[in-house]
Amino acid sequence: MEAVLLQVLAGLATGGIYASLALALVMIYQATHLVNFAQGEMAMFATYIAWSLVNAGVGYWPAFLLTVLIAFVLGVLIERVVIRPVENAPVLAVVVVFIGLLVILNSVAGWIFTYTIKSFPSPFPPALGIRYMSPHQVGALLVTLIVLALLYLFFRFTPLGLAMRAAAQNPVSSRLVGIRVGWMLALGWGLAAAVGAVAGMMVAPIVYLDPNMMSGILLYAFAAALLGGIDSPGGAVVGGLVVGVLENLLGAFVIGNELKLVVALVLIVGVLLVRPSGFFGSVQVSRV
Amino acid sequence: MKGRLFTIAALLTVALAFPALAQKKYDPGASDKEIKVGNTNPYSGPASAYGAIGKSIAAYFRMVNDRGGINGRKLNFISYDDGYSPPKTVEMARKLVEQDQVGTPSNTAIHKYMNAKKVPQLFVATGATKWNDAKSFPWTMGWQPNYQTEARIYARHILQTKPNAKIAVLYQNDDYGKDYLKGFEDGLGPQAQKMIVAKASYEVSEPTVDSQILQLKSSGADVFFNITTPKFAAQAIRAAYDSGWKPTHYLNNVSNSVGSVLKPAGIEKAVGIITSAYVKDPTDKRWANDPGMKAWRDFMAKYNPDGDTSDPFNVYGYTVAATLEQVLKQCGDTLTRENVMKQAASLKRFRIDTLLPGITISTGPSDYAPIEAMQLERFNGHEFELFGEVISNEQ
């Protein structure tokens, strides 16, 4: 029985990792109606910025805030410089740009910081730990929930959040009511990059920082976001936790470790087949 | 990324051409004046840390040429970047063989090609057991102790020190991990089924191995054999310690770096870990006045001044290059590809001073495994300490 409990708690911890990146995916989807394949690499790169700051002697929390800010600016820049030119291009062209971004960020990070793994500090006091979870695992889960709450409040209760949702959903009408759609998209990229940076800094102490840190996680984050509903932040977090726990329990007791990765893939295909909008997402109906 | 992780470049020589005068015989790549040695090595990409091997080999050959070359012939070392990518390695290997007319580097992707072309593919820098298959691939030879040899050495140590051990194994689910596992089970012999109480595998795409460590811990094992690449090795060491599991911990040689594995895992969590070695560790104070390591340090200062003198890969490259030098010396004036292979398979207790004391290189027509001995070492919280005798698997 203890074995099951241990696996569930370890699953919640890894699930929290998936959830935090899934939030960034949901964020960019809310703002642009696109799924960004380079989201994980952007988060990884931001984490290296944080690592450099901490190593240069900046305290953890100042470095944390500075990194979120830098990530935001870089996100806006990427949208303006790289994404804007393909704004009206077919979806496939955009996907190619995303994949290009992924490869470029990965290689540049390896070139600058090398491929050797680096340890990344955790800011949480030992008191936060519970019997079967490390202080960092508990802290990272809490941070994910805080980000979730902030996103919810932002989209639900601020005019800017409303404008962003409108710009993503119906650009033409939004423009007619005076929303600057172009800037809303850039802002969406900035926010997604900032959320990703937080995810990266929470993930790195657990999996160690290296240029390929996010590549495996991204797949699980997709599964998490789809399961919860790609337009629902709350759904993404629930999805992440469910994927983490399910994967551990099935891997340890049912199908074996070899098939763990398959769980994520089956979930992606299954959700798309049975309930494309996920468990918490809104069903899109468009009038033709 | 998977299976190819540790199958990196290799070296090779070769050559051909026209049947020359008198007793001197050449194949492409060799002549009165020079011998071409081709090599591919990852200088960029995820495994670029191995680039140090190629650089120190090149530096070693510069030293050989300064001394007058081998039997009066200069070495022409041609090294290409394979980026750790199999397709690129194939391309570079073809270029070496067809265009530059040399022998080549290798990895799995070019294994068959080199054998079909009968180009000696020597001293592949990896521990996969398939490089020692003289029968099916007579033109390919590994160099370092292979994974199965290493695993058998751990198995033997367990049988000697803890005959009633309950063993848990964590392994990467690919060629490399399974190679180790097989050697380990073979080494335990008939006891294997009984002694190994839990096995868990992981994929390189998994974020963590926490779940696997918990599974192994709950098996009640008191010995842990850790077959993982550096990132997962660090995670496993930390997870085992944090979960309160305190088994006797054997760590594969692939991840026994203090700087890039034990430090990230947490030095205090790694105390007591047992692993194995066959070359002298450049940071080990014991070798401060060792003549072999002094010669290596002089070599580094003169021929490879940009190289990191704490990086074991620079010792590795030096030692591999010295082995090749010996093979070419033995070839004398008969520099045919066939003779290169024949000489590579006739090394008798050849000793290089950068290998641990007691370790020598021997090969034969059916023995394509040059180094088959290692010594165990234990981490004391600062560095690895060698203990026990050199354990050889040489038949």
pLDDT per residue over B280-326, tens digit each?
888 788 888 999 999 999 999 999 888 888 777 888 889 988 888 88
What is the rounded distance in angstroms from the CA atom of residue B184 to the CA atom of residue B182? 5
Please give the residue that has the higher pLDDT: either B18 or B341. B341
Question: Taking CA atoms, what residue in A is nearest to B44?
Answer: A111
Question: Which pLDDT value is given to residue B20?
Answer: 32
Average pLDDT over residues B11-26: 40
Inform me whether the pLDDT recorded for B49 exceeds 70: no
Of A7, A117, A260, which has the smallest distance from its Cβ to B234's Cβ? Answer: A117
Question: Which pLDDT value is given to residue B29?
Answer: 67
pLDDT per residue over B349-394, tens digit each?
888 889 988 888 888 888 888 888 889 999 998 888 888 888 877 6
Please give the residue that has the higher pLDDT: either B79 or B86. B79
Question: Which pLDDT value is given to residue B8?
Answer: 34
Interface test with chain B among A7, A116, A248, A262, by most B beta carbons within 10 Å? A116
Average pLDDT over residues B262-282: 90
The two tokens of residue B176 are 């490399």
Question: Which pLDDT value is given to residue B111?
Answer: 66
Chain B positions with Cβ closer than 8 Å to A: 1, 44-49, 173, 200-208, 210-212, 214-215, 218, 230-231, 234-235, 242-243, 260-261, 263-264
List the one residue out of A185, A168, A161, A203 whose CA is nearest residue A44: A203
> Under an 8 A CB cutoff, do B206 and A7 touch?
no
Over its C-alpha atoms, chain B yields an Rg (Å, rounded) of 21
Question: Which pLDDT value is given to residue A25?
Answer: 92
Interface test with chain A among B211, B254, B261, by most A beta carbons within 10 Å? B211
Question: Which pLDDT value is given to residue B48?
Answer: 61
**Whether the Cβ atoms of residue B39 and residue B57 lie closer than 8 Å to each other:** yes
Beta bridge partners of B250: B225, B274
Of B1, B208, B261, which has the smallest distance from its Cβ to A14's Cβ? Answer: B208
Question: Which pLDDT value is given to residue A156?
Answer: 86
Average pLDDT over residues B141-151: 85
Question: Taking CA atoms, what residue in A is nearest to B257?
Answer: A116
Three-class SS of residue A122? Answer: coil
Chain B neighbors of A216, CB-CB under 8 A: 204-207
What is the rounded distance in angstroms from the CA atom of residue A188 to the CA atom of residue A165? 10
The per-residue DSSP string of B1-55 comes to: -TTTTT----EEE-------STT-EE-TTB-SSEEEEEEEE-SSSTTGGGHHHHH
Average pLDDT over residues A194-200: 94
Inform me whether the pLDDT recorded for A243 exceeds 50: yes
Question: Which pLDDT value is given to residue B3?
Answer: 32
Laid out side by side, the sheet with B274-277 consists of B196-202, B167-172, B223-227, B248-251, B274-277, B373-379, B384-392
Of A116, A216, A251, which has the smallest distance from its Cβ to B211's Cβ? Answer: A251
Helix axes A2-32, A233-249, angle to 10 degrees: 150
Task: Return the percentage of chain A with pLDDT > 70, whole number.
Answer: 98
Average pLDDT over residues B44-66: 78
Average pLDDT over residues B184-197: 92
pLDDT per residue over B94-134, tens digit each?
766 665 544 333 455 566 666 766 767 777 666 676 667 77
3.30.70.20, 3.40.50.300, 3.60.110.10, 3.40.50.2300: which CATH number matches B147-277+375-392? 3.40.50.2300
Task: Return the percentage of chain B with pLDDT > 70, whole number.
Answer: 78
Question: Taking CA atoms, what residue in A is nearest to B201?
Answer: A257
pLDDT interval class at B18 (50, 70, 90):
very low
The per-residue DSSP string of B223-277 comes to: EEEEE--HHHHHHHHHHHHHTT---EEEE-GGG--IIIIIHHH-GGGSTT-EEEE
Question: Which pLDDT value is given to residue A110?
Answer: 83
What is the rounded distance in angstroms from the CA atom of residue A180 to the CA atom of residue A164? 9
Average pLDDT over residues B179-208: 91
Least confident stretch, B98-112, B164-178, B216-230:
B98-112
pLDDT interval class at A176 (50, 70, 90):
very high
pLDDT per residue over A115-151, tens digit each?
778 889 988 988 887 777 888 989 999 999 999 999 8
Average pLDDT over residues A218-238: 90
Question: Which pLDDT value is given to residue A286?
Answer: 62
Q: What's the fold here for domain B11-144+290-364? A: Rossmann fold (3.40.50)
pLDDT interval class at B145 (50, 70, 90):
confident
Chain B neighbors of A260, CB-CB under 8 A: 203, 206
Backbone φ and ψ for A80, nearest 5 degrees, come out as -65, -45
Return all residues near B54 (Cβ < 8 A) that are at least 6 apart: B9, B39, B41, B43, B79, B317
Inform me whether the pLDDT recorded for B87 exceeds 80: no
Q: Which residue ranges does chain B devote to CATH 3.40.50.2300?
A: 11-144+290-364, 147-277+375-392
CB atoms within 10 A of CB B350: 17
Question: Taking CA atoms, what residue in A is nearest to B202?
Answer: A257
pLDDT per residue over A89-122, tens digit each?
888 888 899 999 998 998 899 888 877 788 899 8
Burial B206-239, CB ≥16 within 10 A → b, else e: bbbbbbbbbbbbbbebbbbbbbbbbbbbbbbbbb
Least confident stretch, B109-123, B148-162, B263-277, B305-319:
B109-123
pTM: 0.81
Residue boundaries of the structural domains of chain A? 23-214
List the one residue out of B62, B4, B10 whose CA is nearest residue B307: B62
CB atoms within 10 A of CB B280: 23
